[in-house]
Amino acid sequence: AQSVTQLDSHVSVSEGTPVLLRCNYSSSYSPSLFWYVQHPNKGLQLLLKYTSAATLVKGINGFEAEFKKSETSFHLTKPSAHMSDAAEYFCVVSEGGGSYIPTFGRGTSLIVHP
C-alpha cells in the first residue's frame, strides 16, 4: 500500500527567502513521485517528477526536489520565493506494481509575504 504525508499544512515565507515543503511517502514498490501546484480556482500543474532516474529532480519555475530513499522523503525546495509562488502544493505517490492509482497528500498552502 502507498501513502503520502505532507508534514506542513501551511508554510509562510518572505519573498526572496528559501522555500521548503516537506513530503514523506510510503510504498511497497519503487514509486514514482510528483509535485503539483494548484493556484486558486485552477487545475493542478505538474512541477516535477521522480521516476527512478536522478535523485535530484529539477522542475519548472526554479523548484527542485530530492528523492531520499533512506528517509522516504521527497521534499520540494526553491532558493528564492516569489509572490507568484503563493499556491497550494501537492505531493503525489504512484507505486506501480500493476496499479497506478495515485495517492495525493493533503496539500501545503504556501504563503509568500512581500
Residues 8-27 that bind another protein (CB under 8 A): none
Q: Which residue, 24 or 94, is less far from another protein as judged by CB?
A: 94
Radius of gyration over every alpha carbon of the chain, rounded to an integer in angstroms: 14
**Residue owning grid cell 498552502:** 109
Nearest approach in angstroms of CB 16 to another protein is 29
Binding-site member from 2, 73, 94, 108 for another protein (CB under 8 A): 94
Question: For residues 8-43, b (16+ Cβ closer than 10 Å) or e, as one string?
Answer: eeebebeeeeebebbbbbebeeebbbbbbbeeeeee
User: Please, what is the minimum distance in Å from the beta carbon of residue 86 to another protein?
Assistant: 18
Applying CB under 8 A, among 8, 49, 66, 72 the residue interacting with another protein is 49
Is residue 48 within 8 A of residue 56, CB to CB? The reply is: no
CB under 8 A: which stretch of 21-29, 56-64, 73-81, 97-105 binds another protein? 97-105
Question: Is the Cβ of residue 17 or residue 28 nearer to another protein in the bound state?
Answer: 28
Q: Of 53 and 56, which CB lies nearer to another protein in the complex structure?
A: 53
Residue whose C-alpha cell reads 509562488 in the numeric block: 85
Distance of CA 100 to the CA centre of its chain: 18
